[in-house]
Amino acid sequence: MQDFYSLTPLLKPESKHIYPIFIPFAGCKKRCAFCAQTLQTGQQEAELEQIEKRLKTSLGADCATRQKKQELAFFGGTFTLMPEYWQKRFLELGKVSNAAHQLHQLRCSTRPDAVSHSKLSLLREYGLKTIELGIQSYDSCSLQASGRGYTGQTAFEACSRVSENGFNLVIQLMPGMPGQTIEAFRKDIELVLELKPQAVRLYPCLVIAETELAKLWQSGSYQPWSIEQTISELAAALLKLNLAGIPVIRQGLAPEAELTSNILAGPWHPALGNIIQAKALYLWLSAKLGNLPASIVQIHLPRWLQGIFWGHKGELKPAYEELLITRDKVIFWEWPIVKFTVSGYN
C-alpha cells in the first residue's frame, strides 16, 4: 500500500461577519432588465433618510450584541452614483462609535462604469476597504443584449483600477444573462483569473416577475440556462477559481421567501451552492483518481467536506461507485489535505 497526498482543491468558505445595509436601486441610472432588488433584499425601494435614521439609532447597539467584529456593507444599489453628500452620510455611519468597537470595515457594491479615480478617492478618504463590482460579464455582446450600458473593456479596466488603488476587489458575474454563450462565460472566468480578485460571486441569471427580462422570456426572446448546464459550468468555474486561490463567496441568490415565489424561470435551487461544490470536488477527484498508479483502497478528506461530498441527497453516490469510491473507503479527518491510499503498488 502506498499513500499520496494532495492539497484540497476547494477553499473552505470563510464566515464573513457582514452587516448588510440594503439600499435598493439607490444611485441606479435605470433598472437593469434582470434586476429585482426589492424582492431579492426583501426591502422597499430606498428611502435614504429613513434608512440613515434607523441606522443612527440602532447600529451601535446592534453591533455590540454581535460576537465578532462586523463589516458594514452597502448593497442593492449603485453606491458610488448616489449624490456625494449621501455617500458621505452613509460612510460616516462607519464612524459610529459603539462601546464594543464592533465595526471594523466598510464595503459597498457598485457598477464598473462608476469607479472613476475621484469616486475611489472619496471611498478611500472614509477608509472603505472592499468594493464589489457588478460586472455581470466582460463580453460586450452580452452586456449590450442586457442593456448594461458599458463594454467589456470598461468592466475589465474598472476591476484593474479598483485593485491598483488598494481596495479589495469582489467580482460579481451573472452566467446565462441575455446574449451570453457558454464560451463567453468561460472567457469571463479566464479574465477573472487574470485579474486575481479577493473573491467572486456567481449569480446565475433568473427570470423574476415584474422585470424587463420577464417580458423578454414571455415573448420567447430570452431562454435561461438549464439547471444542469448551470451546475456543470459553475462547478468547472469554481474549481478553476479555487485552485487559483480565489474564493467564490456566493453561488445563486439567497432564498428569500418573497424572491422564490416570484421566480418565473431559470436555474434555481435552494442548495445550488452545495450542489456546485460537490460537483467541483467530483470533477477534481475523478481526474486525480485516473492518475493514480493503482486502485484506490481508502481516501481521507477534510471534515468540512463531509456535508457535500456525496452530493445533494447522495446524488453523486452512483458516480463515485463507478470510480470504485464506496462509503467504507471514505474517511473525513481534521487535516486540510486529501490522502489517497492505493494498493498493489510497488
The stretch among 4-12, 31-39, 238-246, 289-297 that binds ligand SF4 (CB under 6 A) is 31-39
Of positions 31, 54, 101, 303, contacts ligand SF4 by CB under 6 A = 31
CB 48 to ligand SF4: min, Å: 15
The stretch among 26-34, 62-70, 175-183, 252-260 that binds ligand SF4 (CB under 6 A) is 26-34
Question: By CB under 6 A, is residue 37 in contact with ligand SF4?
Answer: yes
22 versus 225: smaller Cβ distance to ligand SF4: 22
176: left (phi over 0), alpha (psi -120 to 50) or beta: left
**Nearby residues of 145 by Cβ (< 8 Å), 6 or more positions away:** 177, 178, 179, 180
Of positions 77, 94, 112, 176, contacts ligand SF4 by CB under 6 A = 77
CA nearest 33: which of 223, 218, 215?
215
Are the C-beta atoms of 176 and 233 separated by less than 8 Å? no
**Nearby residues of 297 by Cβ (< 8 Å), 6 or more positions away:** 1, 329, 341, 342, 343
9 versus 77: smaller Cβ distance to ligand SF4: 77
CB 6 to ligand SF4: min, Å: 39
81 versus 305: smaller Cβ distance to ligand SF4: 81
Q: Judging by beta carbons within 10 Å of its beta carbon (0-12, 13-18, 19+), is residue 155 exposed, middle or buried?
A: buried
209 versus 331: smaller Cβ distance to ligand SF4: 209
CA nearest 253: which of 267, 264, 240, 265?
267
Q: Are strands 130-136 and 168-173 parallel, antiparallel or unpaired?
A: parallel
Question: By CB under 6 A, is residue 146 in contact with ligand SF4?
Answer: no
204 versus 311: smaller Cβ distance to ligand SF4: 204
CB 22 to ligand SF4: min, Å: 10
CB 35 to ligand SF4: min, Å: 3
Of positions 2, 16, 18, 25, contacts ligand SF4 by CB under 6 A = 25
Taking the C-alpha atoms of residue 145 and residue 213, their distance in angstroms, rounded to an integer, is 11
Q: Count CB atoms within 10 A of the CB of residue 179.
A: 16
The stretch among 12-20, 30-38, 52-60, 194-202 that binds ligand SF4 (CB under 6 A) is 30-38
Question: By CB under 6 A, is residue 32 in contact with ligand SF4?
Answer: yes
SS3 content of the chain, % helix, strand, coil (to 5): 40, 20, 40
Taking the C-alpha atoms of residue 50 and residue 149, their distance in angstroms, rounded to an integer, is 30
- DSSP lists the bridge partners of residue 109 as 132
CA nearest 4: which of 341, 268, 308?
341
DSSP type of residue 13: P
Question: By CB under 6 A, is residue 35 in contact with ligand SF4?
Answer: yes
Residues 80-139 that bind ligand SF4 (CB under 6 A): 111, 134
CB 31 to ligand SF4: min, Å: 5
The stretch among 32-40, 42-50, 88-96, 197-205 that binds ligand SF4 (CB under 6 A) is 32-40
The stretch among 28-36, 153-161, 184-192, 293-301 that binds ligand SF4 (CB under 6 A) is 28-36
- E runs forming strands in the chain: 2-7, 18-22, 70-75, 103-110, 130-136, 168-173, 199-202, 207-208, 248-251, 263-265, 296-302, 330-333, 337-342
CB 332 to ligand SF4: min, Å: 40
78 versus 277: smaller Cβ distance to ligand SF4: 78
Residues lying near ligand SF4 in the complex (CB under 6 A): 25, 28, 31-32, 35, 37, 77-78, 111, 134
